Amino acid sequence: MMSSRYYALIPAAGVGARMGADFPKQYMPLAGKPMLRHVLDTFAAHPAIAHTYVVVSAEDGYIDEVTSEGNTLAGKVTVLRNGGATRHASVLNGLQAIRDRIADNDWVLVHDAARPGLGAELIDRLVTALENDEIGGLLALPVVDTIKRSDAQARAEVTVPRDFLWAAQTPQMFRYALLRTALETAANVTDEASAIEALGYRPKLVEGSPRNFKVTLPHDVALAELHLKGNP
């Protein structure tokens, strides 16, 4: 049986409304290059990743410049211009577009374009933990803060026990056929693991890193730059 290959799929069709910028947040400059370029460079340089696909909207006017600069991504990254209105739609559209380039048993690592803090060591950790797993899984962090659930008036209603609670990160890594089936079947899911769970499977949680956080709000930008410039 042929060994499985590993592919990265980056949904990057979002507009980043909460960032309040004049252009999609994945193209915001961070530590000398666009946020998305940090992600693409990480996957392109990793020896385990056979190829990287980035899914953008058909109207995207930024991606060509981002991928052509320096030409170090040539032959390693393919742009798919079939992004959807949601992450779910973009990932599914991307999977459908690469159907003839990937085997059912190959692994797909779906990663947020707005998590530029991903490093090779985290990809290694995920691949090592899941390479023989029957289902797949994702990077995540055990919840350490006290969690409160509020009422409609933003008053603490109950303290939620944090035992066994994890905050999901990406990459989320599943076999092509299973992931595609899950996303074609599931509705109203916020990530790939949720779609897998909806089929009755239990994805494995692999400890990630605080550096691999999602840049969502303006104040996240300065923290991301600190990490990318090598500061602790």
Continuous H helices in 148-191: 176-185
H helices present in 8-159, as ranges: 35-45, 63-68, 87-97, 120-130
Residue 1 counted as domain residue? no
Question: Which residues make Cβ contacts (< 8 Å) with residue 66, sequence separation at least 6?
Answer: 27, 34, 36, 37, 40
Q: What is the pLDDT of residues 43-75, one digit of tens each?
A: 999 999 999 999 999 999 999 999 988 778 989
pLDDT average, residue stretch 180-207: 96
Domain count of the chain? 1
Q: Is residue 42 part of a domain?
A: yes
pLDDT tens by residue, 113-144: 999 999 999 999 999 999 999 999 999 999 99
What is the CATH classification number for the domain harbouring 222? 3.90.550.10
The rounded mean pLDDT for the chain is 91
Full-model pTM? 0.92
* Arithmetic mean of pLDDT, 99-114: 97
Q: Show the domain range for 169.
A: 6-228
Q: What is the pLDDT of residues 67-104, one digit of tens each?
A: 988 778 989 999 999 999 999 999 999 999 999 999 99
- 44 in a structural domain: yes
